Amino acid sequence: MKKFTKGILLGTLSIVFLAGCSANVSEDDLKANDWTIEPDEEDVPNMIASFSYHVMTINVDVDSIESTATDEWEQMGEDFAKELASEMNFKFEYTLDDDQITLQDTDNEDESNIFDVSEEDDNITFTPIDDESDDDTETIVLESRDSEED
């Protein structure tokens, strides 16, 4: 009887472990924190992504922009540009279906992108699904902002 109980317990733990490892990214995972998106290009500032029920909002991370001002006039110009950039936000409606997310531009309903979604450590990766109509779509890595502050 003990072997039978141990076998059931071991089987249950194995199923729980395997289910936990193969879990898809959920809407709750996306909404759990704000995310940093670091672009591949060096001169482009980081972006901050946040998720609500069905909307992904992306803002410029003005804190990631390094100053190159050499005098107070340039500094005033940079401060003004940062203020303008902080007011910019981009909204996308998203639908999450198993391991795919579709991002639809709220300003341009004809423009949408579909990505495979995966999770690794504290990061979530959006890998574009081959779509011949939009060659400039890149892989997006969402890094948890909560883990950056620790």
pLDDT tens digits for range 102-127: 988 888 777 788 899 988 888 898 88
pLDDT at 94: 92
State how far the Cα of 127 lies from the Cα of 138, in Å rounded to an integer. Answer: 7
Q: What residues contact 102, with CB distance under 8 A and at least 6 apart?
A: 94, 95, 112, 113, 114, 115
The torsion defined by the Cα of 133, 135, 139 and 145, in degrees rounded to 10, comes to -80
The correct answer on CATH 2.40.128.370 for the domain covering 25-149 is yes
Extents of the domains making up the chain: 25-149
Q: CB of 56 within 8 A of CB of 49?
A: yes
pLDDT tens digits for range 4-53: 333 343 333 333 333 344 457 888 888 888 999 988 777 788 899 999 98
